[in-house]
Structure 1
Amino acid sequence: MTRRTLAVVSGGLSQPSSTRLLADQLAAAVRDELVRAGETVELVQVELREHAHDIMNNMLTGFPSTALRSALDAVAGADALIAVTPIFNASYSGLFKSFFDVLDGEALVGRPVLIGATGGTARHSLALEHAARPMFSYLHAVVMPTAVFAAPEDWSGGSADGALRSRIARAGRELAEQVRQRPPSAGPADPFALTTSFEQMLDHSES
């Protein structure tokens, strides 16, 4: 039985947060698909509001705190990423963008990513395509075809709620399929790990 790790990054600022709610539902959809396929799944939640000051300090100093380092490593070492942001002024939030600015530039290369967003009006849904998707494509992630946006009316029940659940289910299947096609992640690279054996170093020094 293969063990998989899903990093779930939520950029919501309020508490409780509809952004976190959407992230949780997307994560549950992916987890359920993988479990049905015989995989074991660990969900690692990264709530950006808890790291807001550390993210800014990292941008100013170049050094992450211990807690932020743990969050960055969780994203870098996961088999896949679910990333959900609130939409402000027709784009992702500054906190959401800043987190990925301090993430190592190679961390998401080839990594399956499912993107989602919440906003005060359905008109903001296009921000996923003109802002979030290009950012993750720039980072060389493999972004799922289905992006999920939730407006306030999507949580009110009825046909809108049903349409949201359908999109969540479809996006969950897409990410789960991508994860199943790939070997398990080896986790983040250890910057202090030896890349050359002592024997090789001795041979080199004697030559």
Structure 2
Amino acid sequence: MTERTIAVVTAGLTSPSSTRLLADQLAAAVGDTLDERGVPRRVVVVELRDLAHDLTNNLLTGFPSEALREVLETVVKADALIAVTPTFSASYSGLFKLFFDVLDDKALVGKPVLIGATGGTERHSLVLEFALRPLFAYLQAVVVPTGVYAASSDWGPHATALRARVDRAATELVDLLTHQPAKAAVDPFANPTPFEDLLNN
């Protein structure tokens, strides 16, 4: 079976960062799911923090450095993309947007993408739907239904809830990557008990 390459773009500004931690969890979950299905895979992580000066210079001159050119080629050639950003002013970070401004706007057409974001509180979670999803829709990528947002509280006692979201999103990405139809969610209101039967009990 053909090896699949997963590019992971993370825009955390510190080292370590919760953004990188979430990116690593998503990459691990996707890798584990591919392993379970017997699909060979390679994961390449891109830390945008290390490319900040190269990205700025590219925007000013129109020419990427050798290091940036290699990263751009990696993302273009990857079979799928995981993109994770910290939340600033209810949107993705400037560094995150700068990378996708530099990337050719046809590079992600049809590419499966899993989006993630981190922030201090849960109230920023809509950044996935109001900022990231429209960005990748414009780039004509195929974004999985489940985006993963991690607030500070998600790293504590509620880590199991975060893990469930991570696993669900990873499965959706692998389904796209392996051309398997996503499993339909179970509808708890399907086939309800007739009211007459309830009265008879």
Alignment counterpart, residue 179 of structure 2, candidates 178, 181, 194: 181
Secondary structure of residue in 1 paired with 2:126: helix
Once the two structures are superposed, what CA deviation does each residue of 1:25-55 show, in whole Å capped at 9, x if it has no partner?
Answer: 0011111111111111100110000000000
Please provide the CA RMSD for this pair.
Answer: 0.9
* Distance in structure 1 (CA, Å) of the matches to 2:71 and 2:120: 28
| Structure 1 match to 2:91 | 91
Per the TM alignment, residue 181 of structure 1 is displaced from its structure 2 partner at its CA by 1.3
| Structure 1 match to 2:130 | 130
Once the two structures are superposed, what CA deviation does each residue of 1:163-207 show, in whole Å capped at 9, x if it has no partner?
Answer: 10000000000001100119xxxxxxxxxxxxxxxxxxxxxxxxx
| Structure 1 match to 2:163 | 165
Q: Which ranges of structure 1 fall in alignment gaps of 5 or more residues?
A: 183-207
Secondary structure of residue in 2 paired with 1:86: strand
Matched, 1:25 2:29: no
Secondary structure of residue in 2 paired with 1:178: helix
| Structure 2 match to 1:115 | 115
* Distance in structure 2 (CA, Å) of the matches to 1:26 and 1:32: 10
Percent identical across equivalent pairs? 64
Instruction: List 4+ stretches of structure 1 deviating above 3 A.
Output: none
Once the two structures are superposed, what CA deviation does each residue of 1:85-122 show, in whole Å capped at 9, x if it has no partner?
Answer: 00000000000000000001110000000000000111
* Distance in structure 2 (CA, Å) of the matches to 1:47 and 1:63: 20
* Distance in structure 2 (CA, Å) of the matches to 1:61 and 1:120: 35
| Structure 1 match to 2:188 | none
| Residue correspondences, number | 180
With normalisation by structure 2, the TM-score equals 0.88
Q: Which amino acid aligns with 1:88?
A: F
* Distance in structure 1 (CA, Å) of the matches to 2:34 and 2:175: 8
Per the TM alignment, residue 2 of structure 1 is displaced from its structure 2 partner at its CA by 2.0
| Structure 2 match to 1:143 | 143
| Structure 2 match to 1:194 | none
